[in-house]
Structure 1
Amino acid sequence: MTEPAPAKVNLTLHVTGRRADGYHLLDSLVVFADIGDRVTVRPGGACLRVVGPMAAGIPDGPENLVLRAAALMGTEAEITLDKHLPAAAGIGGGSSDAAACLRALARLTGARLPDDVLSLGADVPVCLLARAARMRGIGEEITPLARLPLLHAVLVNPGVAVSTPAIFKRLVRRDNLAMPERLPGWHTTENLLLWLATQRNDLEEPAIAEAPVIADVLEKIAATEGCALARMSGSGATCFGLYPDPHSAQQAAHKLRRDHPDWWVMPTRLS
């Protein structure tokens, strides 16, 4: 059984509080790209093989979330992770891989999905859904969105891995405003883009303090023709630009790749 593990993009990410146990409360509009990793599971002994253009440096031992997901399912299997997304990049690579493994093992064995997927990480529940949703709490409150206009985007990562705990440690304020309790009904891409411009990613400023190159990435994306919004996803360092049509996104990706051949640049659709 093979399952896609699409890149997760936080169009918004508001940090709205902090619990007594130290976990941060979030309010985020999450969408998924049409690019990502792939996870294949086969009956057999418990083992993980990592292949693909982004396989270098990815652990294949028990610390990998894919094997932790298999252990949570209580299933042994031969697992192949075809890695195309950069690691520690704010686009849910490891979490989406774990969620894809859970879905694949459930299909392979007929077993039900475990209840405690949050134990694998805050992004795993929304990645298990793998469709547009509002994510709140510490990641456990997932509300699927019935309708969201298609977005054309470019994802850009400068090749710098950032530490999520380090980013949260740099947060100056942890009780920021949430998104509106009732989200608008976005009937057009233009309406969605205008609304997104009024929202934010509260981790962007601390991430720039941790990795200043993120500011350069955002500036270069914003300067591309047709860019309606440039923002960081998750805790970084991947940033995204949103465009009115696929041609504009492709042209922007071409320019960014030409000017910065050492950056990971991918045009995509978000839905």
Structure 2
Amino acid sequence: MNSLAAHAKLTLSLRITGVRDDGYHLIDAEMVSLDLADDIVVTPDHSGIDVDGEFADGVPTDDTNLVSKALLLAGASAHVRITKNIPHGGGLGGGSTDAAAVLRWAEFTDMVAASRLGADIPFCMVGGRARVRGIGEIVEPLPRREVDISLVIPPLHASTPQVYAAWDAMGGPHHESGNDLEPAALHVVSGLYDIKRRINEVVKTPPMLAGSGSTWFVEGHHRELLSALPDCRVVFTRAL
């Protein structure tokens, strides 16, 4: 058996630099790994996926799981047990980082092929802090900067394809926050702006949207967010 840590991913900034002929968006982003992580146990020469943990509900265990696709891509066979500690649906890369951990275990290094499974997977294979370009396959490590971060994860789901489609329909706006997808996410996800407003009232600084959402984040550990946003999950973590 092999025990692996699959660290959550946080997109600190995201610029969209173009759209390829096949419809994929080109990005220029800064991403960091967080100390928040799923726990994975890989047993070679077996098969199947088991999922447990606080956020196991709704995670598939069939061949639609990115871990199954990663094993197929790497030509490997194994039983994988995933303990889900990363909330899903908030843009923290939970599925991508699980797949990346399995690809690292399998010693798979083809970033272009990995990016076809998911744009966040190449970064999650490298980890740390990095500039990410192309459709996610170009990962340039940056000096690490350890910083405390508060995550606010609302009970709202932001569909990444819908957010990108809205960005296209809006004419491809840039945004002063550093995340070009924020206007599109606010348009697509009802109630997302209200969460931003409430965070701003508490910490006195506008939060950043993580990628296509729906997670908001601010630097520092702000304990007062726990009582101010009881309808959201507030997680105190740290960039690695």
TM-score between the two structures when normalised by the length of structure 2 = 0.91
Matched, 1:239 2:210: no
Structure 1 residues 35 and 168, CA, compared in 2 at 3 Å: closer, same or farther? same
Identity %: 35
Q: Is the 8 A contact 2:177 2:208 kept in 1?
A: no
Q: Is the 8 A contact 1:123 1:139 kept in 2?
A: yes
| Distance in structure 1 (CA, Å) of the matches to 2:145 and 2:105 | 28
Q: Secondary structure at the match of 2:207?
A: strand
| Distance in structure 2 (CA, Å) of the matches to 1:258 and 1:242 | 18
Paired position in structure 2 for 1:117: 114
Matched, 1:203 2:201: no
| Distance in structure 1 (CA, Å) of the matches to 2:194 and 2:6 | 28
Q: Secondary structure at the match of 1:127?
A: helix
Q: What does the per-residue CA deviation read over 1:37-96, in whole Å, with 9 as the maximum and x for residues that have no partner?
A: 122101232200001000001110100001111111111111001111122211111111
CA RMSD in angstroms, aligned pairs only:
1.9
Letter in 2 for 1:133: A
Which structure 1 residue ranges, 5 or more long, are not aligned? Answer: 107-111, 178-197, 244-248
| Distance in structure 2 (CA, Å) of the matches to 1:33 and 1:208 | 25
Structure 1 residues 221 and 148, CA, compared in 2 at 3 Å: closer, same or farther? farther
Letter in 2 for 1:207: A
Paired position in structure 2 for 1:149: 145
Q: Secondary structure at the match of 1:159?
A: coil
Q: Is the 8 A contact 1:73 1:113 kept in 2?
A: no
Paired position in structure 2 for 1:220: 198
How far has the Cα of 1:158 moved from its partner? Answer: 0.7
| Distance in structure 1 (CA, Å) of the matches to 2:194 and 2:173 | 28
Paired position in structure 1 for 2:165: 169
How far has the Cα of 1:261 moved from its partner? Answer: 2.8
Paired position in structure 2 for 1:183: none
| Distance in structure 2 (CA, Å) of the matches to 1:38 and 1:118 | 22
| Distance in structure 2 (CA, Å) of the matches to 1:175 and 1:212 | 19
How far has the Cα of 1:229 moved from its partner? Answer: 5.1
| Distance in structure 1 (CA, Å) of the matches to 2:149 and 2:34 | 9
Paired position in structure 2 for 1:181: none
Paired position in structure 1 for 2:35: 34
Q: Secondary structure at the match of 1:170?
A: helix
How far has the Cα of 1:269 moved from its partner? Answer: 1.0
How far has the Cα of 1:259 moved from its partner? Answer: 2.9
Which structure 2 residue ranges, 5 or more long, are not aligned? Answer: none
Q: 2:123 aligns with which of 121, 126, 132?
A: 126
Paired position in structure 2 for 1:187: none
Q: What does the per-residue CA deviation read over 1:239-267, in whole Å, with 9 as the maximum and x for residues that have no partner?
A: 10113xxxxx1xx2x32222333311111
Letter in 2 for 1:15: I
Q: Secondary structure at the match of 1:201?
A: coil
| Distance in structure 2 (CA, Å) of the matches to 1:67 and 1:118 | 15
| Distance in structure 2 (CA, Å) of the matches to 1:221 and 1:12 | 19
How far has the Cα of 1:228 moved from its partner? Answer: 5.2
How far has the Cα of 1:230 moved from its partner? Answer: 1.1
How far has the Cα of 1:17 moved from its partner? Answer: 1.0
How far has the Cα of 1:268 moved from its partner? Answer: 1.0
How far has the Cα of 1:199 moved from its partner? Answer: 5.0
TM-score between the two structures when normalised by the length of structure 1 = 0.81
Q: What does the per-residue CA deviation read over 1:149-185, in whole Å, with 9 as the maximum and x for residues that have no partner?
A: 32211011112222111001111233759xxxxxxxx
Q: Secondary structure at the match of 2:29?
A: strand
| Distance in structure 1 (CA, Å) of the matches to 2:104 and 2:135 | 22
Matched, 1:262 2:231: yes
How far has the Cα of 1:126 moved from its partner? Answer: 0.6
